[in-house]
Amino acid sequence: MPETHGDGPDLPPPAPRQRFDRAQVVAALLLALLGFATVVQLRSNSDDGAYAGARRGDLVQLLDSLDTANQRAQSQILELESTRRELLDSSTQTQAALEEARREADTLAILSGAVGATGPGVRITVEDPTGQVGASVMLNVIEELRDAGAEAMEINDQVRVVAQTFFADDGEGITADGIQVSPPYVIDAIGDAPTLSVATTFPGGLEDIVATVNGTVEVEMPEEVEVTALSVRRDPDYARPAD
């Protein structure tokens, strides 16, 4: 009979615990990784062989579909390239038209006296010691300069001379576009300087016209002539744009 101690019989000793050493843990991890790799490989092989068992007719049909899609894509690419070229050409034409319109507007603005101007030209000073240089003489002087190619003119830094400019006699000189100007009359004219200068000296020209009323003319050719006076705006009473 088993021995007893104290209050009751002795209990059997506990069963020994299972112990996992490091080698077993590493082996388990390797097995798990191997299983995962096997599954991935099987899935890859399955994907790669998706068309391995397909019939020849199905493969031909698939190739035809791919070829048709490729042709459609190439056609769309050609259309897009054509559209791109058209847009570039249209943009270039638009830019050229805008530049031409800008140049035309600048030209009209200068000729109409709406803006100042600068460039080569002459400065002509008309002296009138006897007060006989009237409106008709000044008009003849201006016409001589216009005929010589003057593109922009002003008198005494006050009056811009344009196609509609008119002159009238005044007790203290003359008026141009209703603005009184007094001698000496300084005319700034932009154009080809040598041509404008010759227009004042040839027989029957500007000097001779002024000399008939005892006036004198002096011509200078500065490096640059500035015309800063602006014309008086006049709205036409009768003229309208043509259709």
- Range of lowest pLDDT (73-82, 177-186, 218-227): 73-82
Instruction: Give dist(CA 4, CA 174) in Å, integer.
Output: 154
Mean of all residue pLDDT scores within the chain: 78
Q: Are residues 86 and 159 in the same domain?
A: no
pLDDT at 58: 61
Query: What average pLDDT score do residues 196-224 get?
Result: 91
Domain membership flag for residue 156 = yes
Query: What average pLDDT score do residues 134-142 get?
Result: 92
Domain membership flag for residue 39 = no
Q: Are residues 135 and 223 in the same domain?
A: yes
Summarised one tens digit per residue, pLDDT across range 33-46 is 445 544 444 454 44
Instruction: Give dist(CA 180, CA 189) in Å, integer.
Output: 19
pLDDT top residue among 138 and 84: 138
Beta-carbon contacts of 98 under 8 Å, excluding residues fewer than 6 positions away, are none
pLDDT at 2: 45
Per-residue pLDDT band at 13 (split at 50, 70, 90): low
Summarised one tens digit per residue, pLDDT across range 97-130 is 788 888 888 888 888 889 999 999 999 999 999 9
202: which DSSP letter? S
Domain membership flag for residue 30 = no
Domain membership flag for residue 238 = no
pLDDT top residue among 112 and 153: 153
Summarised one tens digit per residue, pLDDT across range 45-54 is 444 455 555 5
Per-residue pLDDT band at 191 (split at 50, 70, 90): very high
Range of the domain at 98: 59-112
pLDDT at 62: 65
Q: Are residues 106 and 123 in the same domain?
A: no
Give SS3 for 125: strand
Q: Are residues 91 and 143 in the same domain?
A: no
Instruction: Give dist(CA 51, CA 134) in Å, integer.
Output: 106
Q: Are residues 141 and 201 in the same domain?
A: yes
pLDDT top residue among 91 and 50: 91
pLDDT at 102: 86
Per-residue pLDDT band at 155 (split at 50, 70, 90): very high
Q: Are residues 98 and 187 in the same domain?
A: no
- Final residue of a structural domain among 97, 112, 127: 112
Query: What average pLDDT score do residues 76-95 get?
Result: 78
- Final residue of a structural domain among 112, 132, 152: 112
Domain membership flag for residue 54 = no
Q: Are residues 189 and 133 in the same domain?
A: yes
pLDDT top residue among 10 and 141: 141
CATH number at residue 217: 3.30.70.1880
131: which DSSP letter? S
Domain membership flag for residue 42 = no
Overall number of domains in the chain = 2
Q: Are residues 127 and 77 in the same domain?
A: no
Instruction: Give dist(CA 207, CA 192) in Å, integer.
Output: 18
Q: Rounded to the nearest 10 degrees, how much is the dihedral formed by the CA atoms of 70, 76, 82, 88?
A: -120
Query: Is the pLDDT reported for residue 185 higher than 90?
Result: yes
Q: Are residues 128 and 213 in the same domain?
A: yes
Q: Are residues 127 and 99 in the same domain?
A: no
The one-letter amino acid code at 75 reads S
pLDDT at 20: 45
pLDDT at 133: 93
Peptide bond into 222 cis (omega under 30): no
Q: Are residues 129 and 194 in the same domain?
A: yes
Would the pTM count as exceeding 0.95?
Answer: no
- Range of lowest pLDDT (82-86, 159-163, 164-168): 82-86
Q: Are residues 77 and 122 in the same domain?
A: no
Domain membership flag for residue 125 = yes
Domain membership flag for residue 180 = yes
